[in-house]
Structure 1
Amino acid sequence: MLSGNQAQVEVQRLRDQIAQMQASTVEQIAEVQRKYEELQQQLRVEAAEREAATAAREAEAAAMAVEQSKKYDELQLRLQQMMQMF
């Protein structure tokens, strides 16, 4: 059997241990939340990079289409000129 003083010391030790566990748990939760936010940010950056790359490819494809259309028009004009010669 513990004396009154020993019981109080044991209760205080247990309270300290609980407080330590709570502090550790809070730190772990904060670390997990920080990592989660970092990953979220990384995903947003990667999504923005993919969107920019897609937009660049679309712009390049549109420019190529314009260039091909211009060349087609030039060939049509040459063909008409050649047909007029004959």
Structure 2
Amino acid sequence: MPSGSQAEAEVQRLRDQIAQMQANTVEQIAEVQRKYEELQQQLRVKAAAAAREATAAAREAEAAAMAVE
């Protein structure tokens, strides 16, 4: 059976291990959040470009329709 000091050392080792795991988890969450925000920004840029293209296409179609009249 481990002595008191051995048990205390084991408890401290486990606490340190838990603290490291928590720090790693926080880092992983921060990285996922950063990637999520980056992808959201990319989607916003693509959506804005698609909206501009759709507007331009609609204007061209309207101009073509008016030219036919």
TM-score by length of 1: 0.74
Alignment of 1:4-83 (within 5 A): 4-69=4-69
Aligned residue pairs total 69
* Structure 1 moving runs of 4+ over 6 Å: none
Quick check: which has more Rg, 1 or 2? 1
TM-score by length of 2: 0.89
Paired-residue identity, %? 68
Provide structure 2 residue ranges, at least 5 long, that are not aligned to the other structure.
none
Provide structure 1 residue ranges, at least 5 long, that are not aligned to the other structure.
70-86
Q: Displacement, 1:60?
A: 1.2
RMSD in angstroms over aligned alpha carbons?
A: 1.1
